[in-house]
Amino acid sequence: MHIPAWIRLFHQRWYAARGKGVRSYQRAFRCGWEDLLDAAAINSAVDRAHAVREAENWEKNGMLCMHRHQHRRYLIEMISLPLDVEHRWCEMMGVKLGVYAAEELRPLVEQYADRGHEVFPQEWRALFDCILTGLKEVKLVAGLEWNRPKELEELLAAVHWLTSRDTTVEIPVRQASVELGFDSKWLEGKRARLEKLLALMMSKPSGLDQWGVMPQDYLLEMSGPLCLHFADGSEVDVDPLQAVVAISSTDIRRAVRISSMALRVLTVENRKTTFRQLASANRDRSTLLIASSYPTRALCDLITKLSPAIPWYHFGDTDPAGWHILSTMRRKSGSAVKPFLMKWRARDRITPLSARDQILLEKMINDPTMEDVHKDLQTMKLSGVKGEYEQESWGPPNLLGWPFFSENNPLSRRS
């Protein structure tokens, strides 16, 4: 059976609003017709007329209801999914209503409850009392989706593994994911739900790092003068090392103080190409280079322990996402991070701003922390294109030290 794009979108909206939940509803789910077609990118008069004919056929088959204007009957205002059709709708789309899926999960949940816990027996029992109560009363618990039994089983198994291991032995999040028997990024994708379950079990906020699972950014790549000072009087000085080094977030947190002879810090978004090119060109060692496309906890900890007199610059892409990274760095670190070579530049090959780009760009323009770059943001908005936004477009540095790119670089004047 052919399912039009607007029907699939209607299903997504219904399922997000009601399908995953466990409440019983008395009224049919409704959706604005014109808004639905706009969201499905059905714009031409011909395509909209075709969508109307499709909707009429679906209504004849009893799969939806069309609500027309009281007087101008040719105008469709809303469409709705009748309550008595939801079962057929779920069968067609291959999904199951949460309210019915919850009833089938009890044996699985009881099996895990009986498994017990050697380290936290009382907390484990309390967790499953909450889950079983939620199943009985048909209500949500810790964001669990009752219509996904496989995911529920995976989450319960992961919680048991996390809370049973020796938390003094730190393990990278992707290695932990593999040891759990999943692909390397599974744990990162389920982090929010796992932490909700852990918090419910321990009756307090509980992040993965508290269980010895370190985020993927727990190694911070850098190049330049840096010295970590520890409470026992020992220190680790990486300045003599010419190559790129990786320092763990554990060591950064363990350090009571971090010093540097650098005149500036420069974070670089592209770690594979641009960061390494700059590290090779940093001959005078006046710049502490750090590969970072996001203000991770490790980066913020390091910056906090460095002298506030050392200015912080960031070299990133100049598309809306790149500017958003700069905004996030400023907000999370509380530092006045300065943009480095981040200017809107024209480009021969045009890349239009997507709908998401435009939303993000408008957010950056209205961000009070981004007032110093409003000119470039407004230029991008008026042009409607990203311009030459990738930092790799600068090519290799042509100076052996700060500022790495000379004034006569043709790209520096291209705007």
Reading the chain (415 residues) residue by residue, the pLDDT tens digits are 678 889 989 888 888 777 655 566 778 889 999 999 998 889 899 999 999 999 999 999 888 999 998 888 888 999 998 888 887 887 788 776 666 666 677 888 889 999 999 999 999 999 999 888 877 776 777 777 776 788 889 999 999 999 999 887 778 888 899 999 999 889 989 999 999 999 899 888 888 878 888 776 578 899 999 999 999 999 999 888 878 998 988 889 889 999 999 999 999 998 889 999 999 999 989 999 999 887 877 888 898 899 999 999 999 999 998 999 999 889 888 888 999 999 999 887 788 988 888 988 999 999 999 999 999 999 999 999 998 999 888 889 999 999 999 866 555 444 3
- Pair (254, 335) in one structural domain: yes
**Looking at 214, 243, 274, which one is the last position of a domain?**
214
Q: What type of residue sits at position 34? A: E
- Pair (140, 64) in one structural domain: no
- Pair (121, 44) in one structural domain: no
CA distance 334 to 357: 25
Contact 373, 342 (CB under 8 A): yes
Contact 116, 124 (CB under 8 A): yes
- Pair (314, 383) in one structural domain: yes
Cβ contacts of residue 346 below 8 Å, gap of 6+? 387, 388, 414, 415
Query: Exposure string (b/e) for 153-174, b if CB count within 10 Å is 16 or more?
Result: ebbbebbbebbebeeeebbbbb
Q: Which of 104, 162, 177 lies closest to 135, judged by CA?
A: 104
Q: Which of 179, 266, 172 lies closest to 217, judged by CA?
A: 172
- Pair (172, 230) in one structural domain: no
What backbone torsions phi and psi does residue 119 show, to the nearest 5 degrees? -90, -45
DSSP state of 19: I
Domain extent for 72 = 5-93
What backbone torsions phi and psi does residue 76 show, to the nearest 5 degrees? -100, 125
What CATH number is attached to the domain comprising 75?
Answer: 1.10.10
**Looking at 93, 110, 145, which one is the last position of a domain?**
93
List the beta bridge partners of residue 290: 222, 267
- Pair (175, 31) in one structural domain: no
The structure tokens listed for 148 are: 């996904």
- Pair (258, 279) in one structural domain: yes
- Pair (371, 286) in one structural domain: yes
- Pair (266, 392) in one structural domain: yes
CA distance 257 to 262: 15
What is the total count of domains within the chain? 3
- Pair (261, 378) in one structural domain: yes
DSSP state of 352: B
- Pair (270, 380) in one structural domain: yes
**Looking at 198, 214, 230, which one is the last position of a domain?**
214
- Pair (22, 159) in one structural domain: no
DSSP string, 274-307: HHHHHHHH-TT--EEEEE-SS--HHHHHHHHHS-
Q: What type of residue sits at position 235? A: E
What CATH number is attached to the domain comprising 239?
Answer: 3.40.1360.10
Q: Please enumerate, as own/partner, the contacts of 229-237 that have beta carbons within 8 Å and a separation of 24 or more.
A: 229/255, 229/256, 229/257, 229/258, 229/259, 230/254, 230/255, 230/256, 231/256
